[in-house]
A and B are shown apart, each in its own frame.
Chain A
Amino acid sequence: MKKAGYAYPSLFARIGGEWKLYLLAFIFILIADSIGQIKIPVWKGTFIIFPIFYALFLGILTGPNTLKILDHQKVKAASGLVGVAILPFVAKLGINAGANLSVVISAGPALLLQEFGNLGTILLAMPVALLLGLKREAVGATHSINRETNLALMQDMFGADSPEAQGSLSVYIVGGMVGTIYFGFMASMAAATGVFHPYALGMASGVGAGILMSSAVAALSEVLPAYADEIAALASASETISGIDGIYMAIFIGIPLCNWLYRKLEPTLGRITKAGRRGVQQAERK
């Protein structure tokens, strides 16, 4: 099947190409896990900074835009390594789900139905995007959480140069930079309201983006330690389902819903603000 297209001619070529990445990762682990967690009380909740954030930040600093330790080729190799390094964590969550299978099964209907809640991004973000003056970019930007598969989907459906794909790319980039920290923070704030059951918080964390889910689950298990196992189990189940249904959700519901909402809202919301009207003029000039 996938015979063509090995990234390296041999294992030794891989080691030769990637040893710097491994070494940096170990240095970052030493630094990040020595610092450990930092907890900052915010309102009724806690903003928890995990070692993964320091490691992420240090990693960003090594790149071609800053310290230039890594060139573009190594950056690409690192993105392949993310996919491998996250697997043991995913396995751990799967084990959690298996160990708490009765909880997962009793939550079955909720687990399946909450998948549609991932479309909440459209209802919340699309109107604001239009007010801020985005045009067709808004469809790409708000149709989903915009991780790798969604980005590829938008490029495939609308073309890589299309405004839709540009919008998707923008949210992908910003999400990569700020998402991990924000997602954990948001989850712990949602827990602090006291309105939501830990099971609901757990399954909402699975949005089809491994690193975001990890951040939310790590934060939730700190603030709700009594439910840590069930939260991880439900997050894992929901993440697995999202990983499978995410692309179909986008193709069959997300993008059509975005298009419909865009047609309904753009002529009004998209022209109330100055930025919105400027967008219309620019579009007409093209």
Chain B
Amino acid sequence: MRIKEWIFVLAIAGLGMMTANFIGFDVAFLDSLPGVLVLLGIALCAAGLSAVIPLKLPTVAYCSILGLLCACPISPISGFVIEAAGKINFTAPLTMVGAFAGMSISNQLKSFLKQGWKLIVITILVMTGTFFGSLCIAQVVLQLTSAI
């Protein structure tokens, strides 16, 4: 994607976020704006980094690391960043993600219906195992290291 395209599509995502934040949580567009700009700015920098740095890291990894750096205690702008992002409700950015994700798998509906109950059972177990495996290790290690 060209940088112009990134900016445009991110702006669409920003508008979607503000719309969801307004309809779902009654936060006015202007109140959401600083937070949206912060999040979009970080996302854009992450896209730039992932294009420039020849490491094969996913863009989302750059994005969350950048977010962390902007908000960590040594960042001079952490107060502003945290407050601005705090105005964006947690699930507000997600509705648009869901919409696109639904569209992107809409051509798999037929093959999904053909999979049958066995694969549904297996998929449920795959997810459950992935989650609970981590959960149990996390719980034990947190206790052993007295982090909780």
Contacts from A to B (Cβ < 8 Å): 1-2, 6-8, 11, 14-15, 21-22, 24-26, 28-30, 32-34, 36, 50-66, 70, 72, 74-76, 78-79, 81-99, 101, 106-107, 109-111, 113-125, 128-129, 132-134, 138, 141-142, 144-146, 149, 170-171, 173-180, 182-183, 186-187, 190, 195-197, 199-201, 203-207, 210-212, 214, 216-218, 221, 228, 232, 236, 238-240, 243-244
> Known contacts A29-B99, A90-B60, A173-B108; is A114 also within 8 Å of B94 by CB?
no
**Contacting pair B17 A55 (CB below 8 A):** no
**Contacting pair A186 B97 (CB below 8 A):** no
- Which 7 pairs between the two chains have the least Cβ-Cβ distance? A120-B133, A59-B102, A94-B67, A63-B106, A98-B71, A124-B129, A117-B134
A75–B99 alpha-carbon span in the complex (Å): 12
A45–B71 alpha-carbon span in the complex (Å): 33
Partner of A110, one of B47, B94, B101, B137: B137
What distance in Å separates the Cβ of B105 from its nearest Cβ neighbour in chain A? Answer: 4
**Contacting pair A128 B47 (CB below 8 A):** no
> Known contacts A7-B1, A51-B24, A88-B17; is A59 also within 8 Å of B106 by CB?
yes
**Contacting pair A33 B95 (CB below 8 A):** yes
- 28 A-B contacts (beta carbon < 8 Å): A33-B24, A52-B94, A55-B95, A59-B98, A66-B109, A79-B104, A84-B1, A85-B9, A88-B93, A94-B66, A94-B68, A98-B70, A107-B147, A109-B145, A117-B133, A118-B134, A120-B129, A124-B133, A141-B122, A144-B130, A146-B126, A171-B119, A173-B105, A173-B115, A176-B105, A203-B138, A238-B134, A239-B60
List chain B residues, Cβ under 8 A from A111. 138
What distance in Å separates the Cβ of B3 from its nearest Cβ neighbour in chain A? Answer: 10
List chain A residues, Cβ under 8 A from B100. 21, 25, 59, 78-79, 81-82, 85
The number of chain B residues touching the other chain, given as a range, is: 35 or more
List chain A residues, Cβ under 8 A from B120. 174, 178
Partner of B103, one of A62, A99, A129: A62
**Contacting pair A89 B94 (CB below 8 A):** yes
**Contacting pair A62 B63 (CB below 8 A):** no
- Interface 0/1 of B39-79, CB less than 8 Å to A: 11011001100010010011111011111111111010010
List chain A residues, Cβ under 8 A from B60. 86-87, 90, 210, 239-240, 243
Chain B CB count within 10 A is highest, among A50, A91, A201, A203, for: A91
CB of B29 within 8 A of chain A?
no
**Contacting pair B67 A93 (CB below 8 A):** yes
> Known contacts A91-B42, A95-B70, A121-B129; is A171 also within 8 Å of B134 by CB?
no
A85–B19 alpha-carbon span in the complex (Å): 14
**Contacting pair B107 A64 (CB below 8 A):** yes
A141–B112 alpha-carbon span in the complex (Å): 14
**Contacting pair B97 A110 (CB below 8 A):** no
**Contacting pair A11 B8 (CB below 8 A):** yes
